[in-house]
Amino acid sequence: MFEIAPSLLSSDFTKLAEEIAAVGAGGAKILHVDVMDGQFVPNITIGLPIVKSIRRITDLTIDCHLMIVEPNRYAAEFVRAGANMVSVHVEADPHLQRTLTAIREAGGQAGIAINPATALSSLEEGLPFADFVLLMSVNPGFGGQKYIHTATDKLRRLRRMIDERGLPTKIEIDGGIDASNIAKVIETGADIIVSGTGVFGDGDGEKGVKALIEAATVWT
């Protein structure tokens, strides 16, 4: 089974509550929230107060993708603000095991996010402490970028790496996923599919989620 995680980055922020209700009606169970600090990535988005507000209006799983430097300073704080899943970038944290453990101790699911040009070997020692890996299929920072085609082979190798170790770690893939490639990434081993433009691009989040689910299931 797979889950669609609409990325709110591509939604209309002037009507966030309606956008969230729409993707829920379409069948999404997870909301992907992109937190950017203008340091780790060249863009600034949203932070803790918005996560707290979203928590008040939805029962959907809130998945915070932290694209920030020094994520250890804030990761557990996002769980306390209402996030159910929090991922931190392996490139941003020299004490990753400590941060992942802090997320879990706060009651969240801990994820390791990894950029397109970062080797999978950098995940090895952190994997037992993570509930999921967020595999980037674009360089983080912006919605609407093109899927980097080498991500498919990387996804295949990550799936093998997790399965060979007998770990329950889930794989989430993020960046450039739409109806044209969703079936392929699911077939290759992704469990959670993030999509921003693919869900909200036509201005109707409910339809967007339904179309992705259909495109995924036609071929699987």
The residues annotated as belonging to the active site are: 34, 174
Residue 89 as a binder of Zn ion (CB under 5 A): the answer is: no
Residue 194 as a binder of ligand DX5 (CB under 6 A): the answer is: yes
Q: Residue from 24, 45, 65, 195 that binds Zn ion (CB under 5 A)? A: 65
Give the up-direction half-sphere exposure of residue 209: CA atoms within 13 A in the CB hemisphere: 24
Q: Tell the smallest beta-carbon distance from residue 44 to ligand DX5 (Å).
A: 12
Structure tokens at 71: 């994520």
Give the up-direction half-sphere exposure of residue 46: CA atoms within 13 A in the CB hemisphere: 21
144 binds, among Zn ion, ligand DX5, none (CB under 5 to 8 A by kind): ligand DX5
Would you give the binding string for ligand DX5 spanning residues 116-155, x where CB under 6 A is met? ----------------------x-xxxxxx----------
Closest CA to 182 of 168, 199, 167, 204: 199
Closest CA to 113 of 69, 157, 154, 173: 173
List, in sequence order, every residue forming a beta bridge with 36; answer none if it has no partner.
67
Residue 71 as a binder of ligand DX5 (CB under 6 A): the answer is: no
Q: Tell the smallest beta-carbon distance from residue 165 to Zn ion (Å).
A: 25
Q: Give the range of 62-70, 90-98, 124-132, 160-168 binding Zn ion by CB under 5 A.
A: 62-70
Would you give the binding string for ligand DX5 spanning residues 151-180, x where CB under 6 A is met? -----------------------xxxx---
Could you tell me where the DSSP H helices lie in the chain?
16-26, 48-57, 75-80, 96-105, 151-164, 182-188, 197-200, 205-218
With residue 133 as reference, give the H or E element that holds it. strand 132-136
Residue numbers 31-60 binding Zn ion by CB under 5 A: 34
> Position 167: which residue type?
L
Which chain residues interact with ligand DX5 by CB under 6 A?
7, 9-10, 32, 34, 65, 138, 140-145, 174-177, 194-198
Which chain residues interact with Zn ion by CB under 5 A?
34, 65, 174
